[in-house]
Amino acid sequence: MAISLFDTARPWQPLRATIQERISAVIDAGRFVLGPEVAAFETELAAYLGVEHVIGVANGTDAITIALRALGVQPDDEVVVPSFTFYATAEAVVGAGARPVFCDVDPQTRNVTLPTVRRALTPRTRAIVAVDLFGCPAPVDELRELELPVLEDAAQAMGASLGGHRAGALGDAATISFYPSKNLGCFGDGGAIATDDGRVAEHARALRFHGSRDKRDFQYVGYNSRLDEIQAAVLRVLLPHLDGWVEGRRAAARAYLAAGLAEHVEVPAVPEGADPAWHLYVVRSDRVESIAAALADRGIQARGYYRTPIHRQPAMAAYATGIELPVTEGLARTNLALPMSPLLGSAEATEVVAAIAAVET
Protein backbone atom coordinates (compact mmCIF):
# COMPACT_ATOMS: atom_id res chain seq x y z
CA MET A 1 0.00 0.00 0.00
CA ALA A 2 1.38 3.45 -0.93
CA ILE A 3 1.54 5.72 2.10
CA SER A 4 2.54 9.37 1.82
CA LEU A 5 4.59 11.28 4.37
CA PHE A 6 1.73 13.67 5.07
CA ASP A 7 -1.70 14.41 3.71
CA THR A 8 -2.54 18.01 2.84
CA ALA A 9 -5.60 17.21 0.71
CA ARG A 10 -7.89 14.67 2.37
CA PRO A 11 -8.61 15.84 5.96
CA TRP A 12 -10.51 18.98 4.93
CA GLN A 13 -12.48 17.42 2.04
CA PRO A 14 -15.72 17.15 4.09
CA LEU A 15 -15.50 20.95 4.56
CA ARG A 16 -15.02 21.71 0.87
CA ALA A 17 -18.47 23.20 0.19
CA THR A 18 -18.28 25.48 3.24
CA ILE A 19 -14.77 26.63 2.31
CA GLN A 20 -15.87 27.43 -1.22
CA GLU A 21 -18.86 29.38 0.10
CA ARG A 22 -16.64 31.45 2.43
CA ILE A 23 -14.12 32.17 -0.32
CA SER A 24 -16.98 33.26 -2.61
CA ALA A 25 -18.26 35.55 0.13
CA VAL A 26 -14.84 37.24 0.34
CA ILE A 27 -14.78 37.67 -3.43
CA ASP A 28 -18.30 39.14 -3.35
CA ALA A 29 -17.35 41.54 -0.56
CA GLY A 30 -14.38 42.71 -2.61
CA ARG A 31 -12.16 43.24 0.43
CA PHE A 32 -8.98 41.17 0.27
CA VAL A 33 -6.42 42.50 2.75
CA LEU A 34 -6.86 43.16 6.51
CA GLY A 35 -10.63 43.06 6.59
CA PRO A 36 -13.30 41.43 8.75
CA GLU A 37 -12.19 37.82 8.12
CA VAL A 38 -8.68 38.50 9.43
CA ALA A 39 -10.06 40.39 12.45
CA ALA A 40 -12.51 37.57 13.26
CA PHE A 41 -9.87 34.87 12.81
CA GLU A 42 -7.47 36.74 15.10
CA THR A 43 -10.16 36.82 17.80
CA GLU A 44 -11.08 33.16 17.32
CA LEU A 45 -7.47 31.95 17.36
CA ALA A 46 -6.74 34.04 20.47
CA ALA A 47 -9.71 32.35 22.20
CA TYR A 48 -8.52 28.91 21.09
CA LEU A 49 -4.97 29.52 22.32
CA GLY A 50 -6.06 31.28 25.50
CA VAL A 51 -4.05 34.44 24.78
CA GLU A 52 -5.02 38.10 24.68
CA HIS A 53 -3.78 39.02 21.20
CA VAL A 54 -3.23 37.37 17.83
CA ILE A 55 -1.80 39.26 14.86
CA GLY A 56 -2.12 37.64 11.44
CA VAL A 57 0.92 37.99 9.19
CA ALA A 58 2.03 36.71 5.79
CA ASN A 59 3.91 33.59 6.94
CA GLY A 60 5.60 31.95 9.91
CA THR A 61 9.03 33.31 9.00
CA ASP A 62 7.88 36.95 9.04
CA ALA A 63 6.06 36.16 12.28
CA ILE A 64 9.40 35.35 13.96
CA THR A 65 11.18 38.44 12.60
CA ILE A 66 8.33 40.73 13.61
CA ALA A 67 7.84 39.11 17.03
CA LEU A 68 11.55 39.39 17.86
CA ARG A 69 11.55 43.08 17.02
CA ALA A 70 8.33 43.59 18.98
CA LEU A 71 9.99 41.84 21.95
CA GLY A 72 12.73 44.47 21.83
CA VAL A 73 15.49 42.73 19.86
CA GLN A 74 17.81 45.35 18.35
CA PRO A 75 20.42 45.16 15.58
CA ASP A 76 23.46 43.13 16.66
CA ASP A 77 21.75 41.66 19.73
CA GLU A 78 22.24 37.93 20.14
CA VAL A 79 19.31 35.53 20.00
CA VAL A 80 19.75 31.91 21.07
CA VAL A 81 18.18 29.44 18.63
CA PRO A 82 18.41 25.70 18.09
CA SER A 83 20.26 24.58 14.99
CA PHE A 84 18.11 21.45 14.65
CA THR A 85 14.99 23.11 13.20
CA PHE A 86 13.80 24.46 9.87
CA TYR A 87 16.19 27.06 8.46
CA ALA A 88 13.55 29.82 8.71
CA THR A 89 13.87 29.95 12.51
CA ALA A 90 17.44 31.27 12.31
CA GLU A 91 16.95 33.16 9.06
CA ALA A 92 14.22 35.20 10.75
CA VAL A 93 16.64 36.16 13.53
CA VAL A 94 19.01 37.60 10.92
CA GLY A 95 15.97 39.25 9.31
CA ALA A 96 15.41 41.11 12.58
CA GLY A 97 18.99 42.41 12.39
CA ALA A 98 20.20 40.17 15.22
CA ARG A 99 22.86 37.45 15.45
CA PRO A 100 21.69 33.84 15.89
CA VAL A 101 23.67 31.92 18.50
CA PHE A 102 23.11 28.23 17.95
CA CYS A 103 22.45 25.87 20.84
CA ASP A 104 22.13 22.12 21.09
CA VAL A 105 19.01 20.08 21.82
CA ASP A 106 17.95 17.11 23.92
CA PRO A 107 18.46 13.81 22.07
CA GLN A 108 15.08 12.41 23.15
CA THR A 109 12.72 15.39 22.84
CA ARG A 110 14.84 17.07 20.12
CA ASN A 111 14.04 20.41 21.76
CA VAL A 112 16.22 23.00 23.47
CA THR A 113 16.68 22.56 27.22
CA LEU A 114 17.59 24.91 30.05
CA PRO A 115 21.25 23.69 30.08
CA THR A 116 21.70 23.83 26.27
CA VAL A 117 20.34 27.38 26.16
CA ARG A 118 22.36 28.41 29.20
CA ARG A 119 25.58 27.32 27.49
CA ALA A 120 24.85 29.68 24.58
CA LEU A 121 24.18 32.79 26.69
CA THR A 122 26.46 35.81 26.66
CA PRO A 123 26.01 39.34 28.04
CA ARG A 124 24.67 40.28 24.57
CA THR A 125 21.83 37.72 24.57
CA ARG A 126 18.56 39.56 24.15
CA ALA A 127 16.06 36.73 23.55
CA ILE A 128 15.63 32.97 23.15
CA VAL A 129 13.71 31.19 20.42
CA ALA A 130 12.34 27.86 21.64
CA VAL A 131 11.00 25.70 18.81
CA ASP A 132 8.23 23.15 19.49
CA LEU A 133 9.98 20.76 17.15
CA PHE A 134 7.88 18.24 15.22
CA GLY A 135 4.89 19.28 17.35
CA CYS A 136 6.37 18.61 20.79
CA PRO A 137 6.25 21.66 23.11
CA ALA A 138 9.62 23.04 24.20
CA PRO A 139 10.25 23.48 27.96
CA VAL A 140 9.41 27.18 27.88
CA ASP A 141 8.52 27.30 31.61
CA GLU A 142 12.01 26.14 32.56
CA LEU A 143 13.60 28.76 30.29
CA ARG A 144 11.88 31.52 32.28
CA GLU A 145 14.54 31.04 34.93
CA LEU A 146 16.94 32.81 32.53
CA GLU A 147 14.89 36.02 32.75
CA LEU A 148 15.08 36.72 29.04
CA PRO A 149 12.16 37.03 26.62
CA VAL A 150 11.26 33.64 25.17
CA LEU A 151 9.73 33.47 21.71
CA GLU A 152 7.98 30.15 21.15
CA ASP A 153 8.25 29.05 17.51
CA ALA A 154 5.04 27.02 17.46
CA ALA A 155 4.99 26.66 13.66
CA GLN A 156 4.81 22.87 13.92
CA ALA A 157 2.80 22.56 17.11
CA MET A 158 -0.75 23.81 16.65
CA GLY A 159 -2.97 21.63 18.82
CA ALA A 160 -0.20 20.58 21.24
CA SER A 161 -0.17 21.48 24.92
CA LEU A 162 2.19 21.60 27.89
CA GLY A 163 0.98 21.66 31.49
CA GLY A 164 -2.56 22.41 30.33
CA HIS A 165 -1.50 25.42 28.23
CA ARG A 166 -1.63 25.33 24.48
CA ALA A 167 1.44 25.53 22.28
CA GLY A 168 1.31 29.07 20.98
CA ALA A 169 0.58 30.39 24.48
CA LEU A 170 3.76 29.31 26.26
CA GLY A 171 6.25 32.12 25.60
CA ASP A 172 6.33 35.88 25.98
CA ALA A 173 5.16 35.67 22.40
CA ALA A 174 4.68 32.77 20.00
CA THR A 175 4.72 32.43 16.25
CA ILE A 176 2.63 30.16 14.06
CA SER A 177 2.83 29.06 10.43
CA PHE A 178 -0.24 28.16 8.39
CA TYR A 179 1.83 26.68 5.57
CA PRO A 180 -0.39 24.01 3.97
CA SER A 181 1.38 20.98 5.43
CA LYS A 182 1.18 22.32 8.99
CA ASN A 183 -1.37 21.00 11.51
CA LEU A 184 -3.53 24.04 10.78
CA GLY A 185 -2.65 24.81 7.17
CA CYS A 186 -4.28 27.34 4.88
CA PHE A 187 -4.42 27.32 1.08
CA GLY A 188 -1.21 29.28 0.55
CA ASP A 189 1.08 31.11 2.95
CA GLY A 190 -0.01 32.51 6.27
CA GLY A 191 1.25 33.07 9.80
CA ALA A 192 0.44 34.66 13.13
CA ILE A 193 1.94 36.06 16.31
CA ALA A 194 0.27 35.34 19.66
CA THR A 195 0.98 37.17 22.90
CA ASP A 196 -0.59 38.31 26.17
CA ASP A 197 1.50 41.47 26.14
CA GLY A 198 -0.43 44.44 24.81
CA ARG A 199 2.70 46.43 23.98
CA VAL A 200 4.27 43.58 22.03
CA ALA A 201 0.97 43.10 20.19
CA GLU A 202 0.69 46.76 19.29
CA HIS A 203 4.28 46.91 18.07
CA ALA A 204 3.81 43.73 15.98
CA ARG A 205 0.56 45.04 14.54
CA ALA A 206 2.35 48.19 13.36
CA LEU A 207 5.36 46.27 12.02
CA ARG A 208 3.16 44.06 9.82
CA PHE A 209 1.87 47.22 8.12
CA HIS A 210 5.04 49.15 7.23
CA GLY A 211 5.56 50.24 10.83
CA SER A 212 2.37 52.27 10.99
CA ARG A 213 -0.54 52.20 13.45
CA ASP A 214 -2.88 54.31 11.37
CA LYS A 215 -1.59 53.96 7.78
CA ARG A 216 -0.64 57.66 7.86
CA ASP A 217 2.26 58.09 10.27
CA PHE A 218 5.12 55.59 10.09
CA GLN A 219 6.86 54.98 13.42
CA TYR A 220 9.11 52.11 12.34
CA VAL A 221 10.67 50.68 9.23
CA GLY A 222 8.43 47.65 9.08
CA TYR A 223 7.17 45.07 6.61
CA ASN A 224 4.35 44.43 4.23
CA SER A 225 3.35 41.19 5.95
CA ARG A 226 -0.35 40.56 6.19
CA LEU A 227 -2.58 37.53 6.37
CA ASP A 228 -5.07 37.94 3.53
CA GLU A 229 -8.85 37.71 3.75
CA ILE A 230 -9.17 34.52 1.70
CA GLN A 231 -6.66 32.65 3.87
CA ALA A 232 -8.34 33.94 7.03
CA ALA A 233 -11.75 32.82 5.73
CA VAL A 234 -10.35 29.32 5.06
CA LEU A 235 -8.66 29.19 8.47
CA ARG A 236 -11.92 30.16 10.21
CA VAL A 237 -13.56 27.06 8.72
CA LEU A 238 -10.63 24.81 9.62
CA LEU A 239 -9.84 25.99 13.18
CA PRO A 240 -12.81 24.27 14.89
CA HIS A 241 -11.59 20.96 13.41
CA LEU A 242 -7.97 21.29 14.53
CA ASP A 243 -8.38 19.40 17.82
CA GLY A 244 -10.12 16.50 16.06
CA TRP A 245 -7.33 16.29 13.49
CA VAL A 246 -4.69 16.38 16.20
CA GLU A 247 -6.52 13.55 17.99
CA GLY A 248 -6.20 11.62 14.71
CA ARG A 249 -2.44 12.25 14.74
CA ARG A 250 -2.23 11.06 18.35
CA ALA A 251 -4.16 7.90 17.43
CA ALA A 252 -1.67 7.32 14.58
CA ALA A 253 1.26 7.70 17.01
CA ARG A 254 -0.41 5.20 19.36
CA ALA A 255 -0.94 2.82 16.43
CA TYR A 256 2.79 2.92 15.65
CA LEU A 257 3.59 2.01 19.25
CA ALA A 258 0.92 -0.71 19.36
CA ALA A 259 2.43 -2.20 16.20
CA GLY A 260 5.79 -2.49 17.98
CA LEU A 261 7.71 0.39 16.37
CA ALA A 262 9.77 0.99 19.52
CA GLU A 263 11.30 -2.50 19.21
CA HIS A 264 13.07 -1.48 15.99
CA VAL A 265 13.89 2.25 16.23
CA GLU A 266 14.10 4.98 18.87
CA VAL A 267 10.70 6.68 19.10
CA PRO A 268 10.27 10.32 20.20
CA ALA A 269 10.06 10.93 23.95
CA VAL A 270 7.07 12.77 25.39
CA PRO A 271 8.11 15.20 28.15
CA GLU A 272 6.12 15.12 31.39
CA GLY A 273 2.97 17.20 31.11
CA ALA A 274 3.23 17.47 27.31
CA ASP A 275 0.62 16.41 24.81
CA PRO A 276 2.39 16.67 21.45
CA ALA A 277 0.53 17.40 18.24
CA TRP A 278 2.73 15.08 16.11
CA HIS A 279 3.19 17.36 13.14
CA LEU A 280 5.83 14.82 12.13
CA TYR A 281 6.53 11.44 13.70
CA VAL A 282 10.31 11.31 13.70
CA VAL A 283 12.21 8.23 14.81
CA ARG A 284 15.94 7.72 15.19
CA SER A 285 18.14 4.85 14.12
CA ASP A 286 21.71 4.24 13.01
CA ARG A 287 20.19 2.37 10.04
CA VAL A 288 18.03 5.18 8.61
CA GLU A 289 19.36 4.80 5.08
CA SER A 290 18.45 1.11 4.83
CA ILE A 291 15.12 1.69 6.59
CA ALA A 292 14.24 4.53 4.19
CA ALA A 293 15.18 2.32 1.21
CA ALA A 294 13.05 -0.58 2.50
CA LEU A 295 10.07 1.77 3.01
CA ALA A 296 10.51 3.28 -0.46
CA ASP A 297 10.47 -0.24 -1.95
CA ARG A 298 6.97 -0.65 -0.53
CA GLY A 299 5.78 2.78 -1.69
CA ILE A 300 6.00 4.27 1.80
CA GLN A 301 7.40 7.80 1.97
CA ALA A 302 9.86 8.70 4.73
CA ARG A 303 12.27 11.62 4.99
CA GLY A 304 15.25 12.64 7.07
CA TYR A 305 14.79 16.20 8.34
CA TYR A 306 17.43 18.91 8.58
CA ARG A 307 20.23 16.58 7.43
CA THR A 308 22.46 19.68 7.27
CA PRO A 309 21.72 21.53 10.49
CA ILE A 310 21.48 25.30 10.29
CA HIS A 311 24.89 26.05 11.79
CA ARG A 312 26.43 24.05 8.91
CA GLN A 313 24.51 25.94 6.20
CA PRO A 314 26.68 28.20 4.02
CA ALA A 315 24.51 31.26 4.64
CA MET A 316 25.03 30.94 8.40
CA ALA A 317 28.84 30.58 8.29
CA ALA A 318 29.32 34.02 9.86
CA TYR A 319 27.42 32.86 12.97
CA ALA A 320 28.82 29.36 13.27
CA THR A 321 32.55 29.75 13.87
CA GLY A 322 33.80 27.25 16.43
CA ILE A 323 30.34 25.91 17.21
CA GLU A 324 30.11 22.24 18.17
CA LEU A 325 26.64 20.76 18.63
CA PRO A 326 27.11 17.01 18.97
CA VAL A 327 23.48 16.05 19.67
CA THR A 328 22.27 18.14 16.74
CA GLU A 329 24.87 16.58 14.42
CA GLY A 330 23.86 13.08 15.52
CA LEU A 331 20.13 13.71 15.14
CA ALA A 332 20.66 15.31 11.74
CA ARG A 333 22.31 12.10 10.50
CA THR A 334 20.03 9.56 12.12
CA ASN A 335 16.45 10.89 12.11
CA LEU A 336 13.69 9.69 9.86
CA ALA A 337 10.14 11.06 9.64
CA LEU A 338 7.54 8.34 9.09
CA PRO A 339 4.14 8.95 7.51
CA MET A 340 1.85 10.99 9.77
CA SER A 341 -1.58 12.50 9.20
CA PRO A 342 -4.92 12.83 11.00
CA LEU A 343 -6.19 9.96 8.85
CA LEU A 344 -3.31 7.50 9.21
CA GLY A 345 -4.94 4.34 10.55
CA SER A 346 -3.64 1.24 12.27
CA ALA A 347 -3.48 -0.81 9.04
CA GLU A 348 -1.05 1.73 7.59
CA ALA A 349 0.92 1.99 10.84
CA THR A 350 1.22 -1.79 10.94
CA GLU A 351 2.44 -1.85 7.33
CA VAL A 352 5.11 0.78 8.08
CA VAL A 353 6.32 -1.09 11.16
CA ALA A 354 6.38 -4.42 9.27
CA ALA A 355 8.56 -2.84 6.58
CA ILE A 356 10.96 -1.50 9.22
CA ALA A 357 11.01 -4.83 11.08
CA ALA A 358 12.01 -6.61 7.88
CA VAL A 359 15.20 -4.57 7.50
CA GLU A 360 18.26 -6.72 8.29
CA THR A 361 20.06 -5.59 11.43
Site of interaction with ligand PLP (CB under 6 A): 59-61, 85-86, 88-89, 131, 153, 155-156, 177, 179, 189, 191
Q: Cβ closer to ligand PLP: 218 or 305? A: 305
Burial zone of 320 (CB within 10 Å; 0-12 exposed, 13-18 middle, 19+ buried): buried
Residue with Cβ nearer ligand PLP (157 or 355): 157
Shortest distance, position 282 Cβ to ligand PLP, whole Å: 12
Quick check: 169 and 192 in contact, CB under 8 A? no
Tell me the β-bridge partners of 81: 102
Q: Where are the alpha helices (DSSP H) in the chain?
A: 16-29, 36-49, 60-70, 88-95, 114-120, 140-143, 198-208, 229-238, 242-258, 288-297, 326-334, 346-357
How far apart are the C-alpha atoms of 168 and 172, rounded to whole Å?
10
The strand pairing partners of 351, in sequence order, are none
Distances (CA, A) of 339 to 18, 233, 256, 303, 355: 28, 29, 10, 9, 13
Q: How far apart are CB 350 and ligand PLP at their closest, in Å?
A: 29
Closer Cβ to ligand PLP, 83 or 89, answer by number = 89
Provide, rounded to whole angstroms, the least separation between the CB of residue 357 and ligand PLP: 30
**Could you tell me how far CA 199 lies from the centroid of its own chain?**
24
For residues 173 and 355, which CB has a smaller minimum distance to ligand PLP in the complex? Answer: 173
**Backbone dihedral region of 273: left (phi > 0), alpha (psi from -120 to 50 degrees) or beta?**
left
Closest distance to ligand PLP from the beta carbon of 296 (Å):
24
Return the C-alpha torsion angle 181, 284, 336, 259, nearest 10: -80
Burial class (CB within 10 angstroms; exposed 0-12, middle 13-18, buried 19+) of 72:
middle
User: In this structure, how many other beta carbons lie within 10 angstroms of the beta carbon of residue 240?
Assistant: 11
Q: How far is the CB of 77 from ligand PLP (least distance, A)?
A: 20
- Nearest approach, Cβ of residue 172 and ligand PLP (Å): 17
CB 40 to ligand PLP: min, Å? 21
Q: What is the CA radius of gyration of the chain?
A: 20
| 106/153 with CB nearer ligand PLP | 153
Nearest to ligand PLP of 328, 348 (CB atom): 328
Residue placing its CB nearer to ligand PLP in the complex, 33 or 347: 33
- Which amino acid, one-letter code, is at 321? T
The residue among 104 and 189 lying less far from ligand PLP, judged by its C-beta, is 189
CA pair distance 40, 91, nearest whole angstrom = 30
83 versus 177: smaller Cβ distance to ligand PLP? 177
Q: Closest separation between CB of residue 190 and ligand PLP, Å?
A: 7
DSSP per-residue letters across 48-84: HHT-SEEEEES-HHHHHHHHHHHTT--TT-EEEEESS
Residue nearest ligand PLP (C-beta atom): 60
Shortest gap between Cβ of 25 and ligand PLP (angstroms)?
A: 25
